[in-house]
Every structure is written in structure tokens, then in C-alpha cells.
Amino acid sequence: MSTEQQAEFERAFANSDPAYDRRFVVAVRTTGIYCRPSCRVRKPYLRNVTFMADAAAARAAGYRACLRCHPDEATTVTIRTIDTPIGPMTIGATEGAVVMAEFPSRAMMAAQLASVRRRFGPTAEGDSPLLRCTETQLAEYFAGRRRTFDLPIDAPGSPFQERVWAELRLIPYGQTLSYRDLATTVDAAPGWRAVGRANGANRLAIIIPCHRVIATGGGLGGYGGGVAAKRFLLDLERRGPVTR
């Protein structure tokens, strides 16, 4: 390994950079464990670290996988940006599940991408059958021909976030629920602000319909894609699906 590459890998590990996942693994001699570069464990001294090509090389050298970052499970997430009536959306999928449908213009976009990379693996621009299916179903939704999505999805989060996201999927098409009522439903009353934060952390906009949650007084409340986009989606659903 050249001096330049060594320095590059050291910076990636120090910064827990998910873009370097699957490019190498970090083997720690003092613990006998190997990690993804993005692992957020307390960083060991660099003198105790060896950078290896992949997990197989680390296992062959006698290291065992980190139980926090699960380096053997990293997989590439293919992403691309599509056009919709409410603006661009970035959709992402592994081979088996859709893991992202997000608005690239929102302030949290960088954090959402970092979350995807940390939980699944590195992202790469491209195309796949599952992304094409996602685009088709979103187009059908915007055309008023689809009420629900039958895509395989994977949306890991904290136990509380997953409870909130599961309830979001139960809100019927064309209906809304207040943040306060949602908090009661997930046994988090009066923690409606925490529910709002979980709503905002949803990485599968529209597919997990966080736009159906509104303020208690009937106002729209916030939305990652912007209030105008939220109003568009609610008006679209209130008109009902197109029948043929």
C-alpha cells in the first residue's frame, strides 16, 4: 500500500466515511475485530490498525466481524434521481428492497444518504429492475391510478422510529392523522414532537406516507419535500383514484 493510499484510508476511517465501505475493512489487532470504515465505535490507535482488502482477507487472518457495523452484510445501494410532479426524487434500492425515496433538495438529504450507507452499504449511481418498478409505481400514484405500493421495502431505524413508520403505513389513502393522535397511537403521548422527528427521518417518502400526518389544528405542518409538495399530495389523494 502506498503512503498516499494509507493516508487516504486513515482519513476515511477517522471520519467514519461510508463511501469507503466495501473498498477495504479495518482490522484491529488489539481486539481481533474487523469493521467497516464507516463504523462509529471508539477509534483505536492507528498503530493497532491494519487495512485489509475485504472481509474474507480479515477472516483468513483470524479476525472476527464487528457486531455493531456488521461488515459482512454491506451491500451496494443503487440510486438514481427521477422527475415527479413535485420535483426531483432520489430513489435507492439494494438487490432485494427499496431503501430510499427522498427529496434531494431537503436539508436532511446528506444525513439520509449517510444513514443509508451506514445501515446498508455504499451507494452508486445506476439503474436496476427494482428502481424501474419503483419509478413506475410512483408515476401511477401521481396519475391517480395507485392507492398503495406493493414494493419490497427495508426501512431500519430505532425501535421508536420503526413503530411510527409502521403506523404511517396504516393511514388510509386520502385520510390524515394529527401528530398528537399518532403519538397516542404509538403510546408516546404527549411526545408528539418526537413523533414529528421520527416522521421527518422517514427515508421512503410517499411509499411510507408521512405526508398524511398534519398539525392538530388542521394545518399542514412540515414536510421534507416542502409544504407545497405536501399540499399537492393531500389534494391528489382527496380527489380519489382515477377509475377506468
Active site residues: 210
Query: Measured between alpha carbons, how far is 101 from 198 in angstroms, rounded to an integer?
Result: 16
Asked, as a colleague might, if the bond just before 190 is cis with ω within 30 of 0, I would say yes
- Among residues 114, 41, 120, the alpha carbon closest in space to that of 78 is found at 120
Which residue bears the cell 409505481?
137
At 2, which amino acid appears?
S
CA angle 89–91–96, rounded 5-degree value: 165
Q: What is the sign of the dihedral through the CA atoms of 209, 189, 114 and 156?
A: negative
Q: What are 201's three cell numbers?
A: 427521518
Q: State how beta strands 98-102 and 89-93 pair.
A: antiparallel
- For residue 178, what is the enclosing H or E element? strand 177-178
Write the burial class of residue 235 (CB in 10 Å: 0-12 exposed, 13-18 middle, 19+ buried): exposed
